[in-house]
Amino acid sequence: MEQDYDYLFRRRHALHRENREVWERSRAAYYGGEAYIRRALVRHVSEVEPEFEERLRRAYYFNYPRKLARLITQFILSVEPQRDGAEPELVEDFSRTGLRANEVMRQFSTLLNIYGGAALSVEMPYFSGEIDCERKKLERIRPAVRAWSPLEVADWSCGADGQLDWIIFEERILSDNGPFQPPSPALRRKLFTRTETMIFEREAGTGRTMLLSRAGHKLGCVPALLSFEPDGFGIDGGHYFEDVVRISDAILNNESEAQMNVVKQMFGLLVISDSFARGAHPAGGENADGREKFSHLLARSAAIWESPEEKGISRYISPSGADSAAIRAENDALKRELFDVVGMALIQPSRAAQTAEAKAWDHHQIKQFLASRVDQLEQAELHCWELMRRYDRSIRVPRIAYNREFAVTDLKSSIESLVELKRFSGGIEYRREVARTALFLLEKVRKIDPARRELIRREIESWQSLRQEVDNG
């Protein structure tokens, strides 16, 4: 059986094999730091090692990939999703490790932004014997949701019904051996099927594989979901974040060049006459014919010499300020293209005021991009609640509604338009819709406590019943 376990650790899905290198590069770009600078900074053909090492030490990284990945998530979850009927305890600790439902879904959303795909699993802690409400609460025996990157999803397969037949998750862990012994590293794989969950582990030192646990369930489905962006891998194409990383790398390298140009403007390149070079007395020894040896390093920042037929005047030369300005202008253009590639561009290259039509189109483009992502998150979270209910029938599946109105329009004009709308006479449904919009705009001005917002929402929804009571006398 151990041979079977070994094969389980070698399995890789075709999509995982094809995209692993890109996913790892995207992850490294999101993390940033010195390690990524060393990976992404390009050394010139004419650049000697000391020069390149200096550029590495001076380089800095504007982490646009992280900014974009988080910006999309921040827009989507800027307003608390509605979860009518959800148990507050589960919402506040969705992961069973202290992460709220919003935080787990924020992780899931950011993973989608970085990789174009992500997974969610719903697991039940292992227990034996009878269970009652008191034990369930004391031992916190309840389902928990976890987000996984596609790098952690080793393999999967779907059945004839289009649903997952099984899925394998991979994680590196440190097993705690107590405060007096160092932790033991190991590679763990979890196999979820439609009937059971199995956990396997491979020891780092010995390479021995073993089955840690095996537990059946009666869910009738795999307690996980795997989601890819439909306009990316869904149509057998790559993901836009790869282009984001490449543009960001170009900005990093351009910025490094601009920085070194500034340094060279302060500390110019020495140019000396050829006659001075030949008459120099370096501590370099002598040639075979007894003549003094003069060694010279040819590099972009090393001294060069001219013959007497040329100027013959020792001096310093340096790049002009225009060179650095051109590089910075190129970087500004790349930044605009970077946001436009994602569909999050709002800043126009011209300072002139935009027409109303152009501004509306920009806002519409962003709202449609975010709305399509909201659909994906909303369906994923709903599926998790349904899986939790399959584990525990006492858990209710809430009505989930994510915000689809994003704060990318002018707030002042929106409020003025709402005031004008209130002047029109209308029925209860019309007034209720205006009030809902006012509540949404109110949150843009001042954050409302979730409990108070729910109270206001219920008041708005109760207008119909109040009107009926008045009509009935």
Residue predicted with more confidence, 228 or 308: 228
Residues 206 and 85 in one domain: yes
pLDDT of residue 354 exceeding 60: no
pLDDT at 291: 52
**Separation in Å, CA 326 to CA 215, 247, 255, 317:** 63, 17, 11, 19
Residue predicted with more confidence, 327 or 145: 145
Residue predicted with more confidence, 251 or 424: 251
Domain finish residue from 189, 217, 239: 239
In a domain, 348, yes or no: no
pLDDT of residue 145 exceeding 80: yes
pLDDT at 230: 78
pLDDT at 367: 72
Q: Which residues pair with 400 in a beta bridge?
A: 83
Domain count, the chain: 3
Task: Read off φ and ψ for residue 420, nearest 5 degrees.
Answer: -65, -40
Rounded average pLDDT over 353-382: 68
Rounded average pLDDT over 125-154: 81
Domain finish residue from 283, 312, 342: 342
Residue predicted with more confidence, 234 or 325: 325
Q: What percent of the chain has pLDDT over 70?
A: 70
Q: Distance between CA atoms of 251 and 42, rounded to whole angstroms?
A: 12
pLDDT at 72: 87
pLDDT at 115: 94
| 8 A C-beta contact, residue 138 and residue 126 | no
Range of the domain at 472: 410-473
Helix (DSSP H) and strand (DSSP E) numbers for the chain = 16, 13
Mean residue pLDDT of the chain comes to 79
Structure confidence by residue, pLDDT tens digits, 167-183: 999 999 888 888 888 88
In a domain, 393, yes or no: no
Residues 435 and 297 in one domain: no
Rounded average pLDDT over 360-384: 77
Q: Distance between CA atoms of 5 and 191, rounded to whole angstroms?
A: 11
Q: Distance between CA atoms of 376 and 395, rounded to whole angstroms?
A: 23
pLDDT of residue 48 exceeding 60: yes
**DSSP secondary structure letter of residue 293:** P
In order, the DSSP letters of 312-349 are ---EEE---HHHHHHHHHHHHHHHHHHHHHHT-----S
Length of the chain: 473
Residues 261 and 189 in one domain: no
pLDDT at 348: 45
Residues 308 and 228 in one domain: no
pLDDT at 473: 47
In a domain, 263, yes or no: yes
pLDDT at 19: 92
Least confident of 73-77, 128-132, 250-254, 272-276: 272-276
Residue 90, SS3 per DSSP: helix
In this structure, what token pair is assigned to residue 395? Answer: 């858990």
Predicted model pTM: 0.74
pLDDT at 79: 81
pLDDT at 65: 92
Residues 34 and 90 in one domain: yes
In a domain, 357, yes or no: no
Q: Distance between CA atoms of 399 and 452, rounded to whole angstroms?
A: 19
Q: Which of 371, 361, 356, 353 is nearest to 413 (CA)?
A: 356
pLDDT of residue 466 exceeding 80: no
Q: Distance between CA atoms of 210 and 192, rounded to whole angstroms?
A: 16
Residues 18 and 44 in one domain: yes
Domain finish residue from 342, 357, 376: 342
Structure confidence by residue, pLDDT tens digits, 158-168: 999 999 999 99
pLDDT at 469: 45
| 8 A C-beta contact, residue 56 and residue 40 | no
Residue type, position 432, single letter: R
Structure confidence by residue, pLDDT tens digits, 61-100: 999 999 989 988 988 888 889 899 999 999 999 999 999 9
Least confident of 114-118, 453-457, 469-473: 469-473
pLDDT at 352: 44
- Residues 6 or more apart whose CB falls under 8 angstroms from that of 24 comprise 151
Residues 97 and 215 in one domain: yes
Residues 300 and 271 in one domain: yes
pLDDT of residue 2 exceeding 80: no
Residues 38 and 161 in one domain: yes
CA-based torsion, 256, 259, 263, 268: positive or negative: positive
pLDDT at 470: 44
pLDDT band at 17 (very low <50, low <70, confident <90, very high): very high
pLDDT band at 345 (very low <50, low <70, confident <90, very high): very low
In this structure, what token pair is assigned to residue 444? Answer: 């843009």
Residues 6 and 148 in one domain: yes
Rounded average pLDDT over 385-394: 93
pLDDT at 316: 52
